[in-house]
Amino acid sequence: MIDTHIHADLRSGEDFKEMYLSGIDVAITCGFYPYKVDNEIVLLNHLNRILKLETERAFEHGLKLKVALGIHPTNTKINPKMIYESLYNWIKSREIIAIGEIGLENLTVDEINIFKKQLDIADETKTKVIIHTPRKNKAKVLKVILDILPQHIDEKLAVIDHINPSVVNSVINKDCMLGLTVQPQKMTKEEAITILNEYGFDKFLLNSDISTKASDPLSVPKTIRELQKQNYNKKDIEKVSFLNAEKFFKI
């Protein structure tokens, strides 16, 4: 199994061990600084920590981490040039598999400008992007994201994450992949399965988005087990368990 969106730097080694023992072989950890930061050097150091330390820490417990790095919309009160330069270097050295998570939260000018620039870098380098959508005002913010996206990047390079039943209909016909976050206070495994049942399995990725918020590091295997329990087609289950992620991220 592949958990396609976590924040490893915010979790314990015990979580990694439980994930591995539950059948998760690979997880994609994304960039996000959980506190207000107004210094790009602090943010860059944090992103380098994810790249170097967290991959080693997870592997000690059997879990292989793939890394996505970028400027999260809540971390946009900085001078981003240093991070942009690092993104080019990480992409060139193949240290990251995607730019992420990026996106919009409060629709500030800084957020929008930094989001657009990171999309431009991704399009230029043909790198995948993992796009955050917020808990609050999701439909409103998602509409802005969908307006910006095709102006800056081939939609086939993008995952729009944290999709839920209230907005899935607005993105299902886009060329993006769609992330389903099964997490307390975000979406239950039953709601995720309802989406899969209605729209099919080809466009979706599963993740737990474990972070400082209420989280369940085993939400992906629990969802997969529930699909098996309900006798969904094995090949369909494999798509959201690992095949879609392997194909999209080329891992």
What is the block-wise mean pLDDT of the chain (251 residues), using blocks of 10 residues?
97 96 98 90 96 95 97 96 98 97 97 98 98 96 98 98 97 97 95 98 98 94 98 98 98 93
Q: Say what the pLDDT of residue 35 is.
A: 82
**Residue whose C-alpha is closest to residue 161's, from 214, 232, 234, 104:** 104
Supply the pTM of this predicted model.
0.96
- The C-alpha R_g of the chain, in whole angstroms, comes to 17
Q: Say what the pLDDT of residue 246 is.
A: 98
- Tell me the C-alpha to C-alpha distance, in Å, between residue 206 and each of 49, 110, 201: 25, 30, 10
Of the chain, the end-to-end C-alpha distance in Å amounts to 12
C-alpha angle 192/183/169, rounded to 5°? 35
Q: What is the DSSP letter of 187?
A: B
User: What CATH number does the domain containing 80 carry?
Assistant: 3.20.20.140
Number of domains forming the structure of the chain: 1
- H or E element: which one contains 99? strand 98-103
**Residue whose C-alpha is closest to residue 28's, from 219, 211, 209, 214:** 209
Residues spanned by the domain of 129: 2-249
